[in-house]
């Protein structure tokens, strides 16, 4: 969490699904940890020409808004029982869920989505549409995994992918803040083997000093982390350097983590690493936008 951002809300999209309710509970805890308001949002979008069960004189738009209010209010009431002093607000907005959430990302410090998507009254969105929100949002977006796929109790660490690029500082800033905020350790993971090079490396294997290569990659990670121990002295850091594809290494590291943090440039499509982990991670994934304004 960046300094001075506490007034900006955490936003969660709800559509009446169990995945959205799980996202709302997660968003509530994030809002509490950040001392931020929580905005529970339902987008109202429907192909009006396909609605045939309503009488001709019905105000379809008003009925849809009423349905959206019911969905948002139900989620809000479920959260209110445990909200404590969190400023909880509901919001029903006309428009496609992607457009609504992208617009709200401009004033939010975090958006939270369920893995199955977040739709309006018309139903949940497919995962590909969730990816569109994640790819183009200008604030971090957390996507929760399907809670029916895997159960791991007592998750702890925040895991962050480190590529060894200048952009790593933006991702590390978010990851360190999350670890500090939740009182847990940070596991920076640097994977250094691209699968596309594997056939050539197998042929050159006897000629490659793999110990030296690993030492070089350890140096890449150490340089990316330089100075952070002074900025966040209370965060325990456990470095991981792994010879593997980045997405696969991060998915493996997510097994016991409470959060996986990756970066992605703001564009119309997700980068390969973010796309690779988004729907395979065993824990919630926070995608941090880097290079804001790029591809807009």
pLDDT given for residue 17 in this prediction: 81
Q: For 149-175, what is the HEC assignment?
A: CCCCCCCCCEEEECCCCCCHHHHHHHH
Q: Per-residue pLDDT for 208 more than 80?
A: no
Residue 43: C-alpha distances to residues 71, 90, 189, 289 (Å): 10, 11, 37, 23
Which of 2-6, 86-90, 197-201, 290-294 is predicted most confidently? 86-90
Q: Which of 56-60, 117-121, 145-149, 184-188 has the lowest mean pLDDT?
A: 117-121
For 12, the token pair is 């969660």
The confidence band for 94, taking pLDDT boundaries of 50, 70 and 90, is: confident
Q: Which of 26-30, 85-89, 255-259, 288-292 has the lowest mean pLDDT?
A: 288-292
Q: Per-residue pLDDT for 290 more than 50?
A: yes
Cβ(74)–Cβ(18) below 8 Å = no
What are the beta bridge partners of residue 54?
A: none
CA distance 14 to 43: 8
DSSP state for residue 123 in the 8-state scheme? B
Q: What percent of the chain has pLDDT over 70?
A: 75
End-to-end CA distance of the chain: 24
Q: Per-residue pLDDT for 165 more than 80?
A: yes
The helix (H) or strand (E) run that includes residue 138 is none
pLDDT given for residue 57 in this prediction: 47
pLDDT given for residue 21 in this prediction: 87
pLDDT given for residue 47 in this prediction: 55
pLDDT given for residue 51 in this prediction: 47
Q: Per-residue pLDDT for 217 more than 70?
A: yes
Of 58, 8, 256, 286, the closest CA to residue 151 belongs to 256
Domains for the chain: give ranges and CATH numbers.
10-143 (3.40.50.620), 158-290 (3.40.50.12370)
């Amino acid at each position: 969490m960046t300094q001075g951002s506490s007034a900006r809300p955490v936003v969660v999209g709800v559509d009446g699904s169990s995945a959205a309710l799980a996202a709302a509970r997660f968003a509530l805890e994030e809002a509490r940890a950040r001392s931020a308001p929580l905005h529970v949002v339902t987008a109202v979008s429907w192909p009006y020409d396909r609605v045939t069960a309503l009488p001709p004189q019905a105000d379809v738009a008003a009925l849809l808004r009423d349905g959206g209010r019911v969905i948002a209010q139900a989620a809000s009431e479920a959260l209110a029982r445990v909200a404590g002093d969190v400023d909880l607000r509901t919001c029903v907005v006309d428009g496609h869920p992607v457009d609504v959430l992208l617009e709200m990302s401009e004033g939010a410090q975090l958006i939270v989505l369920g893995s199955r998507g977040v739709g309006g009254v018309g139903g949940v969105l497919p995962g590909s549409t969730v990816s569109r929100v994640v790819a183009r949002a200008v604030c971090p977006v957390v996507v929760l995994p399907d809670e029916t796929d895997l159960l791991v109790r007592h998750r702890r660490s925040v895991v962050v992918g480190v590529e060894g690029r200048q952009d790593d500082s933006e991702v590390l800033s978010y990851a360190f803040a999350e670890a500090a905020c939740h009182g847990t350790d940070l596991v920076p993971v640097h994977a250094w083997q691209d699968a596309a090079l594997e056939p050539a490396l197998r042929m050159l294997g006897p000629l490659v000093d793999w110990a030296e290569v690993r030492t070089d990659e350890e140096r890449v990670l150490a340089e990316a982390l330089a100075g952070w121990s002074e900025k966040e002295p209370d965060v325990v850091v456990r470095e991981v350097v792994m010879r593997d594809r980045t997405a696969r290494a991060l998915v493996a590291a997510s097994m016991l983590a409470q959060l996986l943090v990756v970066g992605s440039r703001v564009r119309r499509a997700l980068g390969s690493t973010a796309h690779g982990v988004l729907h395979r991670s065993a824990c919630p994934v926070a995608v941090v936008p880097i290079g804001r304004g790029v591809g807009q």
